[in-house]
Amino acid sequence: MKLGIEGKWALVCAASKGLGKGCAKALVMEGVNVVITARGDEALQATATELRALNPNVQVVTVTGDITLPEGRASALAAAPHIDILVNNAGGPPPGDFRNWSRDDWIKAVDANMLTPIDLIKSVIDGMCERSFGRIVNITSAAVKAPIDTLGLSNGARSGLTGFVAGLARQPQVAGKNVTINGLLPGPFDTERLQTMIAAWAKRDGKTYEELAAVRAKTVPARRFGNADEFGATCAFLCSVHAGYITGQNVLMDGGSFPGTF
Ligand code: NAP
């Protein structure tokens, strides 16, 4: 299936590794020009080289910076002529016990995982409406649907974003202009973030990485972790011309872990 988005411009935030990179790859393979961001320049340039090799006909622009800071967002937005597709992403907040979190910890999480995506949406949505095409995908977490007790900062901040977007996506002046906003909710995906967490649990429990990874994967009905390419393919479909009637939704990708009928 051709996705019909060749020649569009996408901003994919936090995309040198993991899920963001998976989304950038899928979009580039569909002929979309991309601006990709990350704080570390070395991995970002390596990813850009990989993306250019995947499709030499697209433009791949890199912006090194922190997307949770106003200057990081300004540079990212300035790097494209306009934005047709926005993939919101950033690092997730750390786990812990809420008794130990200060106001600053909360502000940091809300800033990164709620206010940053909202600010980027604010910057691009009117242009999308004027051009009668826009696709916004917010990478959040399965924790929005089924909270994880140790990830309270993530549960809280991402639910705030999800609630805000639920209202915005349904405004006729947005949905009626062929501009869609959806959440993409990862369960466990085999990225550096998950690998780091498994390595820490293995160290804590005196087990090997392989033992702990196998135990964790067994808790997923699919009996494996997701991979960034399949995440990216779903993201690209949500950004396609075919997905214009899907908006305000939260698409869970968790290998069947969520136990509900809906
Ligand atoms: P990852 O493999 O660690 O990759 C994170 C990417 O984001 C890197 O390219 C990183 O590059 C970039 N990044 C992080 N903070 C940034 C910032 N402030 N500004 C710009 N770039 C930034 O992580 P991932 O697994 O893809 O996770 C992506 C998001 O999905 C996170 O919010 C995570 O919490 C969430 N999530 C992941 C899983 C999972 O199983 N993987 C499950 C649920 C939710 P730099 O470090 O160089 O900036």
18 lines ligand 1 (CB under 6 A): yes
pLDDT for the residue 133: 98
> Distance of CA 176 to CAs 179, 206, 243, Å?
7, 55, 14
pLDDT for the residue 201: 87
Pair of tokens at residue 59: 């433009």
Pair of tokens at residue 37: 């961001």
Check if the beta carbon of residue 135 is closer than 8 Å to that of residue 11: no
Report the distance separating Cα 96 and Cα 109, nearest Å: 13
pLDDT in tens, the chain (262 residues): 899 999 999 999 999 999 999 999 999 999 999 999 999 999 999 999 999 999 999 999 999 999 999 999 999 999 999 999 999 999 999 999 999 999 999 999 999 999 999 999 999 999 999 999 999 999 999 999 999 999 999 999 999 999 999 999 999 999 999 999 999 999 999 999 999 989 988 999 999 999 999 999 999 999 999 999 999 999 999 999 999 999 999 999 999 999 999 9
Test site for ligand 1: of 11, 13, 17, 229, most ligand atoms within 8 A of the Cβ? 17
Is this structure's pTM higher than 0.85?
yes
- Tell me the residue type at 159: S
DSSP 189: B
Report the distance separating Cα 82 and Cα 85, nearest Å: 9
- Tell me the residue type at 233: A
Check if the beta carbon of residue 255 is closer than 8 Å to that of residue 218: no
Report the distance separating Cα 239 and Cα 152, nearest Å: 30
Q: What pairing do the DSSP bridges indicate for beta strands 9-12 and 85-88?
A: parallel
Check if the beta carbon of residue 49 is closer than 8 Å to that of residue 60: no
Spatial neighbors of 101 by CB under 8 A, at least 6 apart, are: 152, 153
Q: Report which ligand 1 atom has the smallest distance to the Cα of 40.
A: 47
Test site for ligand 1: of 34, 64, 89, most ligand atoms within 8 A of the Cβ? 89
pLDDT for the residue 127: 98
